[in-house]
A = this chain, B = another copy of it.
Amino acid sequence: MQPGKQFCAPNSDYASQNFMKKWKHISSKTIHKDRWIHLRADACLLPNGKAIAPFYVLEAKDWVHIVAVDSEGRMLLTRQYRYAADVVSTEFPCGEVDPGEKPLDAAKRELKEETGFEAEDWQLVYVSWANPARQTNKIHCYLAKNLLQTGGQSLDESEDIEFGFAKVAEIKDMIQTGEFTQVLHIASLYAALDQLLKDE
């Protein structure tokens, strides 16, 4: 291979984060901030001495995804209109973690609000950055089993969410047809499947 910027993966020294120089934060300016969005423009200094300004950062609350699986292995999906893309999107139950809330509690709350279901068994599937280049938030994905529908939905006036169960093969087909059409949720589908296989 060509010489240069090569690494060995995985890196045994990863936890230290010392093997790659980070950018230096110089200053931050708020571009727009209200209860829905917080966009800031930072000035930064790169390790090579180059200045970058503006570099835009979206401060965002963490998100939860819930992959709820019934006794036949079917997964609980939601369907709702997604405005920015102007598309009806089939996904997993999901939502924001409120300030001070634990991610697992947010997952339980969102599952119940969007579908009326509760679950006896909860497992963490992954915690990972939603988009570490631009956003400050992580996604916490949970696998929920032993489901019981304990009530109806509890939606905001602005929410219109349908729900239903589908087999894994059907969901994979829906990725191909564009019915299950949100990349973040494709990650949660496959990562939860991996976890389910380990449990068997």
* A21 at the B interface (CB under 8 A): yes
CA–CA, A102 and B77, complex, Å: 33
Number of copies: 2
CA–CA, A136 and B82, complex, Å: 10
List A residues at the B interface (Cβ < 8 Å).
1-11, 14-15, 17, 19-23, 31-32, 34, 36-37, 39, 42, 44, 46-48, 50, 52, 54-58, 77, 79-90, 116, 126-136, 139, 149, 151-153, 157-158, 160-166, 170-179, 181-184, 186-191, 193-194
Residues of chain B within 8 A of A55, CB atoms compared: 83
Among residues of B, the one whose C-beta sits closest to the C-beta of A3 is: B152
Contact between A165 and B50, CB atoms less than 8 A apart? no
> Which secondary structure dominates where chain A touches chain B?
mixed
Contact between A52 and B128, CB atoms less than 8 A apart? no
Cβ-neighbour of A21 out of B1, B31, B37, B81 (below 8 A): B81
Residues of chain B within 8 A of A170, CB atoms compared: 9-10
CA–CA, A89 and B135, complex, Å: 13
Cβ-neighbour of A84 out of B8, B132, B160 (below 8 A): B132
